[in-house]
Amino acid sequence: MCGIAGIFSNNQVATELYESLLALQHRGQDSAGISTYGCRFHLKKGMGLVRDVFKQESMQGLKGNIGIGQVRYPTVGGGTLEDAQPFMVNSPYGIAMVHNGNIFNFPQLKEELFKENLRQVNSNCDVEAILNVFAHELTRFCHRDFFDSICKAVESVYLRAKGGYSVLAVIADKGLVAFRDPHGIRPLVWGQRKTSFKTEHIFASENTMFEILDFDFYRDVEPGEVVFIDFNGKVHQRSVLKKEFRPCIFEYVYFARVDAFLNGVSVYRARLRMGQNLARKIKREYPDLPIDVVIPAPQSADTAGLACAHELGVRYTEGIVKNHFIGRTFIMPGQEIRQKANRYKLSVIDFEVRDKNVLVIDDSIVRGNVSRHIVKLMRAHGAKNVYFASAAPPLKYPDLYGIDLPTQDEYIAYNRTIEDIRKLIGADLLIYQDLEDLIEAVTRRGDLKFTRPHTAYFNGDYPTSDVDEHVLAEVERQRKEERAKSKTEKTEYQGGILL
């Protein structure tokens, strides 16, 4: 889970890249990095939030009118500086690269690069593998037309790197490259800013910073498309390998910011329709259910909750308050610490709940820890009945393409019925969105080029044809090993401070 941005400008780009990463901070809080190019590469990356990584002195060192940046939450590799992006190689030319996504054959590709291409991947971050495949092929073809060489290099990435990804790269003295996997699983949007000199360009995981920086939305980068802005500002574009367009539906459920516009669909409008469809299911299946108030689990469920309440004709209230300054509880060491953090993270407005039949709307239910905690809070504040509804269907399969949804047996829905889950979270009633209604909510409106988004975490329908039971078993084994290692490292304390 990451956010990336790249800018080609007539002026210095460091400040605008910084502002872009701030707008993408929700996509990753573990590390941040920026690389710019002006006669030579300049690089700054570090652990933590954007505002903590970049200080005035480091920003002053990021010279150049072309650059890329990334905020990261790792799905491959650990939360260490060695795995923070951007990554660089010095041949051919010099290339800096960032990506958003996941390569599920990363261990095999890493070994293959070393044995067959004599290239060392020195980190546990999969973009370094993409970078080395790209650089190796560019070396082979760089005596030809340069854009043809780039397309050949990207084609090799498509053939060797299995997964979902959007990639940005700067090539020294050449320009800015953007490309997206052949199924368009991970988002990548393109903005332009007209000037009296060269047109300026921005590529990013979301368009949330476009208006702030005075860029106009131009379009999405297409699945399997390569875009190259050369140093003269000329745009080169080509479809290299396009397959069925299967954008990730979880971007609309949870991951993208609500004001984003991805693949021709407004995230805000999609979430409104999710709430509307969920309400219709409730009215259809539980026509006499007494509901006094609808409360969203903050904040990603707010929009769906609002639409659900409107469709039901029930009062909507934000009766749960979230403290945004508490860290992510799911990465804290030990169940006791996580539970304590949950108590600090969420609080309830008592008079919005007491003596009422409450319908809580959440965007999804993953492990069920937060759902269980919210139900307990409702009961502690005197709710008569607590009904819980998810704007997404039950999660049952791991994601392989860049969203850190857990291994199968970590899902609360794994090998359990809805009634089993209801009992586990302690609700009086549990309602899940139907998958066809979720898909309809995303695809109902817009200038769409897709009809079948990626929904594998609900039904096992993976967009890439190379996913089978063996691949899933191997990916789960790798993730469990990484998490066990990470857990060991995070429980090493000195004086109560994480080492």
Render pLDDT for 271-306 as a digit per residue (tens, 0 to 9).
999 999 999 999 999 999 999 999 999 988 999 999
CA distance 346 to 376: 11
Residue 135 near residue 120, CB atoms below 8 Å: no
Amino acid at 84: A
- What pLDDT does residue 216 have? 98
Domains present along the chain, CATH in parentheses: 2-243 (3.60.20.10), 265-450 (3.40.50.2020)
Q: How far apart are CA 291 and CA 312, in angstroms?
A: 9
Q: Which of 150-159, 360-369, 465-474 comes out lowest in average pLDDT?
A: 465-474
Which pLDDT score, from 0 to 100, does residue 451 have?
93
Give the CA-trace dihedral at 181, 184, 187, 193, to 10 degrees: 80
Of 213 and 325, the one with more pLDDT: 213
Q: Is the pTM of this model over 0.85?
A: yes
The mean pLDDT of 234-252, rounded to a whole number, is: 96
Q: What is the pLDDT of residue 228?
A: 98
Q: Tell whether the model's pLDDT for residue 184 goes beyond 70.
A: yes
pLDDT of residue 483: 66
Specify the pLDDT at position 474.
85
Backbone angles phi, psi at 441, to 5 degrees: -65, -35
C-alpha dihedral sign at 19, 73, 179, 128: positive
Q: Which residue has the tokens 């309809």?
A: 440
For position 469, what pLDDT does the model report? 87
Is the model's pLDDT at 21 over the cut of 60? yes
pLDDT at 77: 52
Residues 262-282 as b/e (b if ≥16 CB within 10 A, e otherwise) read bbebbbbbbbbbbbbbbbebb
Per-residue model confidence (pLDDT) at position 8: 98
Confidence at 484, pLDDT banded by 50, 70, 90 = low
Which among 373, 367, 446 is positioned nearest to 410, based on CA atoms?
Answer: 367
The pLDDT value recorded for residue 496 is 44
The pLDDT of 40-59, averaged and rounded, is 95
Specify the pLDDT at position 331. Answer: 41
**Higher-pLDDT residue of 175, 323:** 175
Give 126-152 pLDDT, tens digit per residue.
Answer: 999 999 999 999 999 877 799 999 999
Q: Torsion-angle region of residue 59: left (phi > 0), alpha (psi -120 to 50) or beta?
A: alpha
Identify the residue whose tokens are 């329908």: 461
How many angstroms separate the CA atoms of 403 and 1, rounded?
5
Confidence at residue 475, expressed as pLDDT on a 0 to 100 scale: 83
Question: Distance between CA atoms of 234 and 214, rounded to whole angstroms?
Answer: 20
Residue 259 identity? D
Which of 2, 125, 142, 308 is catalytic? The answer is: 2
Mean pLDDT, the chain, whole residue set: 91
Task: Quickly list H helices, 225-323.
Answer: 250, 267-285, 302-312
Span 324-348, pLDDT tens digits:
776 545 444 444 555 565 667 899 9
Residue 2 annotated to the active site:
yes
Q: Rounded to whole angstroms, how far apart are CA atoms 488 and 491? A: 5
- Alpha-helical (H) ranges within 31-190 are 50-53, 56-60, 106-117, 126-141, 146-160
Q: Does 472 have pLDDT greater than 90?
A: no
**pLDDT (0 to 100) of residue 337:** 52
Q: Hey, what are 86's tokens? A: 């951007």
Q: What is the DSSP string of 60-90?
A: HT--SSEEEEEEE--SSS-SSGGGPSPEEE-
Confidence of residue 497 (pLDDT cuts 50, 70, 90): very low
Return the pLDDT at 259. Answer: 96
Average pLDDT over residues 78-105: 92
Per-residue tokens: 53: 């990584």
pLDDT reported for residue 42: 97
Q: What pLDDT shows up at residue 499?
A: 32
Taking alpha carbons only, the member of 274, 291, 309 closest to residue 386 is: 291
Of 376 and 334, more confident: 376
Q: Looking at the predicted structure, is the pLDDT value of residue 492 above 80?
A: no
Distance between CA atoms of 241 and 177, rounded to whole angstroms?
Answer: 16
